[in-house]
Amino acid sequence: MKLTLPIAVALCALTGTAMAADKTLTISVYSFAQDAYKKALYDPFEEICGCDLVIETGNSVERMAKIEANADDPVIDMAVISSHDALSLARKGLIAPLDTSKLSSFDRLYPAAQDPIGNNMAVGYTFYASSIVYRKDLVEIESWGDLLDKKLAGNVALPNITGTQGPLTLMMLDKAMGGKPDDFGPVISEIGKKADDIVTFYSRSSELAQLMNQEEVIAAPVGRFAWSRFKGSPLPFAWANPAEGQAGGMNVMIMTKGNGNEELAYKLMDYWISTEVQTRIAEALIDSPANMDVKVSQEVADNLTYGAELIESLNILDPATIIDNREAWVEQWNADVIK
């Protein structure tokens, strides 16, 4: 694999002091597509930097808890997480502001990805749409409200409130019900009334894919980044375009405060958001690009959250709204839904 000269030069510019201090970088990532990430990102970076990457995976709750539990002596150097989880960590003083001058590809990011939570505490590396995956041979999905319709009773899964997809699903169900923006109390109450009709409240997209491939679930909200789990199935899954539109979000890169491995983390960040690497990741259908210069075929684009027009059409929930209301949502969820 050949790398463009600017990337190779930038990655070789690590100072002797920084490299000598620690040639191992520990990163916390989502668990999906790790074999593909190894080929497209981890292995090439290790070869260039002469370093080792330690990859830790898990769901958002687990990974957030580990960062918080080790605040005084970080065991994670860098993480990729949702924008609202990043804001939560920032408010707790657990992550460091980024020096964007160390990111040569920073200006190539969509403006929304350059400072997604304010104060340069994160940079976006991928956008994602969220919609409903369903069995097109068994049901038609025209609205987010169909998830709670009796025609899907006993055949639908919803994301847990604590996961990335949870608040986005509440937002779109609220929109379908004609509720007030950011007031998800009525939606949670409605889900509670129909909790017995829900097969499960899933925490991982891999868990959902297994249930749908086993034909226990025929419709569920899911992020576009997990679409490949369904598209490759022999079952006729489809991606819905509901009347209310698609939800959307952004995953971001953050650096833990005081980890002592900042320079190497910057190198990985810059490599990850470079046009070359973002193109490779997009063409492998791993993640959708946040780099504006990425160009892919229409066939590839159809499987991604790709291009300014689509990104601007997404219903994106403000990270601060999630953080400010999550405790109340979870409390009501536990009372009305989990019981």
Mean pLDDT of 95-110: 97
Confidence of residue 181 (pLDDT cuts 50, 70, 90): confident
Output the pLDDT for position 263.
Answer: 95
Distance between CA atoms of residues 267 and 250, nearest Å: 21
Look at residue 332 and give its three-state secondary structure.
Answer: helix
120: which DSSP letter?
A: T
Mean pLDDT of 26-41: 94
Confidence of residue 31 (pLDDT cuts 50, 70, 90): confident
Residues 6 or more apart whose Cβ sits within 8 Å of residue 321: 182
Mean pLDDT of 290-311: 94
pLDDT tens string 185-233: 999 999 999 999 999 999 888 889 999 999 999 999 998 888 888 988 9
Angle between helices 83-91 and 319-333 (to 10 degrees): 90
Q: Locate the DSSP E strands across 183-292.
A: 198-202, 219-223, 237-239, 247-255
Q: Say if residues 288 and 224 touch (Cβ distance below 8 Å).
A: yes
Mean pLDDT of 143-155: 96
Angle between helices 5-12 and 262-272 (to 10 degrees): 170
Supply the mean pLDDT for the chain: 91
Distance between CA atoms of residues 77 and 26, nearest Å: 5
Distance between CA atoms of residues 278 and 289, nearest Å: 6
Mean pLDDT of 120-132: 96
- 28: number of Cβ within 10 Å: 23
Domains and CATH numbers, the chain: 5-127+250-315 (3.40.190.10), 129-248+317-338 (3.40.190.10)
- 129: number of Cβ within 10 Å: 25
pLDDT at 122 over 80: yes
Q: Rg of the chain's alpha carbons, rounded to an integer? A: 20
| Residue listed under structure tokens 């992550």 | 95
Mean pLDDT of 303-324: 92
Rounded to two decimals, the pTM is 0.79
CA dihedral (27, 31, 32, 37) in degrees, to 10, reads 30
Residue type at 201?
A: F
Mean pLDDT of 115-135: 96
Q: Nearest to residue 211, comparing CAs of 144, 287, 158?
A: 158
Look at residue 216 and give its three-state secondary structure.
Answer: coil
Output the pLDDT for position 226.
Answer: 84
Output the pLDDT for position 22.
Answer: 53
